[in-house]
Amino acid sequence: MSANRIRVLVVDDSAVVRKMISDVLAADPEIEVVGTAVDPYAARDQILALAPDVLTLDLEMPRMDGLTFLRILMEQRPLPVVVMSSLTRNGSEHALEALRLGAVDVLGKPGTSYSIGDLGPQLLAKVKAAAIARLRPFRGTRPAVPATPVVSAAVAGGTAGPWARAPSSGPRSLILLGASTGGTEALREVLTHLPDGLPPIAIVQHIPALFSRAFADRLGTLCSFRVSEARDGDLLERGHAYVAPGNFHLLVVRQGEQYRARVIDGPPVWHQRPAVDLLFKSASDAGAGTNVLAGVLTGMGKDGAEGLLRLREHGAATFSQDEASCVVYGMPRVAWETGASQRQVPLERISEYICRQLEPAGAGHAPLARASP
């Protein structure tokens, strides 16, 4: 077998699920299933014996649950992990905790409402992304806590207090963000460092159906402003972030001087639903132009680049996450290389960059990021 194939270990207590996952992966010539394990103890032995490149990991297993195993794994022998989680409220919460602990991505387990036919293309894409992912440092077992928002005195209306509000008006009236692999933690880093009172924020994160609601709810407990899963017809308001529902596209349409959300079905774009490109292009079609600040964060593929370029051509301020801070430098790379992104910004500086873009024209600062020609 080719040494260049991605070596995968499948960990799940269900023999049926192990076979389904293994069959999907083995059918791809770029992937080799080197083994399977029924629980974390068997997985530990298989990891030592087989040295896999990627793990697929069930979270509900006997003897030791998947989260406990993941904590130990990321602390002692970090390895790219794609989590397979049940499509339930508890499953979604556990999957988000797994992402916080260092898992690269999450996917709903196959079952009566989520067939192996639906699973296959997504599983292959996520395993391939995991194989090239840059693992984040181990975050420990403490739950995530709200961070102090980053805000300059000009944006906060003359005060730099930790929960200061942004001005009620400014040169940008809509903020758009798109992300994929590694994006849940990247978005948490950005949003929890932003102040309340900013223009509405519309977000597309490639995430399975049902998981998006838990993701939005968790962000809502950590941020200084409201965060919710977008609903069709929502009026996009200041001090509120809207997350695209999993398996639905999120668009924005203009209504007078404001915007409303459109949540629609439709074919995947770049194999994704929701798709970042559709959000960005809808803002351009709505005539937002110079009223938009848009950025692409970490992720595999090229979703978002075309829409970001269209926005830039219509006067929007655009940016992308820099390579060093990305889990997967795919979407940001395409956005940068095609000229869609005006600047590359390190993850830890994106919130500050957003605030500076909202400042009155002429406010002087040292450069935060590499600018495109």
Cβ–Cβ under 8 Å, residues 136 and 102: yes
- Set 86, 180, 284, 351: catalytic member: 180
Lookup: tokens for 304: 């978002």
Euclidean distance between CA atoms 328 and 114, whole angstroms: 26
Active-site annotation holds for 206: yes
Cα angle value 349/355/356 (rounded, 5°)? 85
- Set 12, 53, 234, 303: catalytic member: 303
- Set 206, 240, 322, 372: catalytic member: 206
Question: CA-based diameter of the chain, in Å?
Answer: 64
Lookup: tokens for 140: 């420990």
Active-site annotation holds for 113: no
The secondary structure of residue 171, as a DSSP letter, is S
Cβ–Cβ under 8 Å, residues 153 and 269: no
DSSP 329-370: BSHHHHHHHTT--SEEE-HHHHHHHHHHHTSPTT------SE
End-to-end Cα separation, the chain, in angstroms: 45
CA dihedral (48, 51, 52, 55) positive or negative: positive
**Burial class, 103, CB count within 10 angstroms (exposed 0-12 / middle 13-18 / buried 19+):** buried
Closest CA to 318 of 347, 361, 289: 289
Euclidean distance between CA atoms 46 and 36, whole angstroms: 8
Count of residues in the chain:
373
Lookup: tokens for 153: 């005195």
Cβ–Cβ under 8 Å, residues 104 and 70: no
CA dihedral (19, 50, 59, 211) positive or negative: negative
Which residues are known to be catalytic? 180, 206, 303
